[in-house]
Structure 1
Amino acid sequence: MKTNRVGRPTHCRSIQDMPRITCFKPEGVPPEELQSIVLTLDELEAIRLADKEGLYQADAAIRMQVSRPTFGRILEAAHKKVAEAIVDGKKLCIQGGTFRSLCDSTLTDRPNICECPECGLKLPHQKGEPCRETVCPHCQAPLKRMGGCLPEFLPQV
C-alpha cells in the first residue's frame, strides 16, 4: 500500500460516487506536448464536498470518514493540482487513490454481505445502504461490509 508519510499507511476515504468524466484536456495543445496531472478520487471528492456542496471542512471530513486536518490536506493537494492544470495547460485525469465507494455504483469483487464485527452475524447487503448504518439485531453493533476497503493506488505519471 502506498504511504504518504513514513510509517503511516493511507486509510480508506469514503467517496459518494465514481466520476462520469475522468479526463479534461486543454484546447490547442498538441498531444505530443501535453503533460498530465493525476487527481485522485478522494481529492475530487474533497473538491465536490467543499467547493460544490459548500460544506465546512469539519462536516466534509465526517462524510469522507477522515479527520478535519486530513481533509484539509487532501483539499489543499487537490486545489494545487487543479490550479496547475488550468494555469499551465495540462491534462487533468481523475483516477487512483485509496477509497471506498459509499453507494456501490461500481462493480466490485466484494461479496454482497454485511457482517457484524462483534458476533459474526452475516446479512445480505442492501444496495445503496451503507452497512455501517445498519445495526446487528443480536448485539446492536454497526455492521461492516465484507471485503473492507476498495484500494486503488495512485499511478505513476
Structure 2
Amino acid sequence: MPSSSDDNDDGALLSADVDLGLVLVVAPSPVDRVVVSRIAERAGYRTVCRSPEEALPLNGGLPALVVLDGAAGGDSDRLVERFTRLRRPTGGGQAPLMILLGNAGPAARQVHGGGIVDTVVAKPITPDRLQPIIRDMMERLKG
C-alpha cells in the first residue's frame, strides 16, 4: 500500500509534462543501471538512473519510458503500480511506457499479461535486443 508521501509525489508528477526524450532506468545494481542507460543513450535518448528506493519522486518532467529491472523484487511491483497510476495519453500511446527486464518467469508473465507492463525483455540484456525496443516504443509515443 502506498504511503501518503507516495501520493503527494504522484500528485506532483501528475502535473508534470511528459518528456518524450527522457528514459528512466531503475535497477538495484549500479552496473545494470549504467549498461541499460548507455543502450538508451545510444538510441538517442537522455537517461536518469535510479535505484528502486530513489526512483520517485523525479525532478522535472515525467519520463516517456521506464526501464525497470525485475530483480528489484517487491520494489518493482510497487513501482509498476505507481507508474501505472501516472499514465496519461500522449501522442500515440500512454506515457510512461514500461519495459520490465528479467527472466520471463511467472511473475513477469502475469504483470505483462495484465497489460501493466508494455514489454518484458529477458536477461541477459544486449544492445542488439534492447535498443530497437526502446526506439520502437518511443516512436509509438511520438505518434
**Structure with greater helix percent:** 2
The answer to whether the superposition gives a TM-score over 0.5 is: no
> How high is the TM-score relative to the length of structure 2?
0.28
Report the TM-score when normalising by structure 1.
Answer: 0.27
Structure of larger gyration radius:
1
Q: Which has the higher strand share?
A: 2
Could you say which structure has the greater relative contact order, defined with CA pairs below 8 angstroms and 6 or more residues apart? 1
